[in-house]
Amino acid sequence: MRKIAVVSGKGGIGKTTLAINLGYILHNEFNFDTTIIDCNLTTPHLSINLGVYNKNKTLNDVLKGEAKLEEALVKHPAGIKILPASIELNDLEGVDIGKLSDILQNPTSNLILDSAPGIGREGMATISAADEILFITQPYTSAVMDIYRCKKVAEKLNKKILGIVVNFRKGFKHELSNTEIEKFTELPVIETIPYNIEIEKSVAAKLPLPLYNQKAKANKSFYSLASQISGFKIERRRHFLDKLLNIFKKIKLE
């Protein structure tokens, strides 16, 4: 089972969005059993952005030793499995995020860890608990510099770095190019996600992008990344969709 952390130096860069869309495609479309975990205890957005919440138990209870991990899991109506952190401020009391590694020791599915930004306690605990790190940044100097710092931490902890995802690409001249980002960080850029207002709308609708709008421009990037990570060939999915379409066409003709 793989444990992949989605990490950034700066906040608001698209970690949760990436975790949700990657998790959805891997689990629902590529048959790659996946659970998304909200490791951002102080500002948890995973359950909010998906509109599902476990009223009984959360990651906070699991970290406190007051619940089993399975008890805190929730399923989105689309089938995505998530482990939410509590959205109640009081539930932060007595929680030690340092225990994250221990509770994720023997996962029964692949895990995507949605990190808090930076290398504070939560960020560090998330990087420590993961085996593989997927960095995400915007194409601006400050965000890229923060990635460099996170990279140094991940290397010190002997984590496998999958590469960088550049998000919010608008295509303006003042943006750093992927080559510049690679030069600065000494890491490969493995995917670029364009700025796409459909993403904002999908978050408001509490749905992964492919379910909200199959034709949205940014879908291509999420599918391509999921394919790179899982080895699942997108052609196989297209083949399946074509077959499905042909069946519908036949039914219509009959």
Taking 3-state DSSP, the helix, strand and coil percentages for the chain, each rounded to the nearest 5, stand at 45, 15, 35
Among 1, 12, 68, 242, binds ligand ATP (CB under 6 A): 12
Residue 8 contact among Mg ion, ligand ATP, none, beta carbon within 5 to 8 Å by kind: ligand ATP
Distances (CA, A) of 84 to 16, 48, 232: 12, 9, 27
Closest CB to ligand ATP among residues 8, 54: 8
Among 5, 7, 9, 17, binds ligand ATP (CB under 6 A): 17
Q: Considering the complex, what minimum distance in angstroms separates the CB of residue 149 from Mg ion?
A: 18
Contacting ligand ATP within 140-169 (CB under 6 A): 167-168
Residue 12 contact among ligand ATP, Mg ion, none, beta carbon within 5 to 8 Å by kind: ligand ATP
The binding site for Mg ion (CB under 5 A) comprises 15-16, 45
Contacting ligand ATP within 83-122 (CB under 6 A): 117
Closest CB to ligand ATP among residues 65, 120: 120
Q: Say if residues 85 and 46 touch (Cβ distance below 8 Å).
A: yes
| Burial of residue 5, with CB atoms counted within 10 A of its CB: 0-12 exposed, 13-18 middle, 19 or more buried | buried
Give just the sign of the alpha carbon dihedral 97, 23, 200, 56.
Answer: negative
What the block records as the tokens of 246 is 């042909």
Which residue reads 């902890």 in tokens? 157
Q: Considering the complex, what minimum distance in angstroms separates the CB of residue 243 from ligand ATP?
A: 31
Among 1, 11, 75, 248, binds ligand ATP (CB under 6 A): 11
List the beta bridge partners of residue 121.
none
d(CA 75, CA 238): 26
Amino acid at 224: S
User: Counting contacts by CB under 6 A, is residue 138 touching ligand ATP?
Assistant: no
Binding mask 195-214 for ligand ATP (x = CB under 6 A): xx--xx--x-----------
Q: Considering the complex, what minimum distance in angstroms separates the CB of residue 194 from ligand ATP?
A: 6
Closest CB to Mg ion among residues 15, 159: 15
Contacting ligand ATP within 165-194 (CB under 6 A): 167-168, 193
Exposure string over 185-214, b if 16+ CB within 10 A, otherwise e: bebebbbbbbebebbeebbeebbbbbbbbe
Residues at the site binding ligand ATP, with contacts judged by CB under 6 A: 8, 11-17, 40, 43, 45, 117, 167-168, 193, 195-196, 199-200, 203, 218
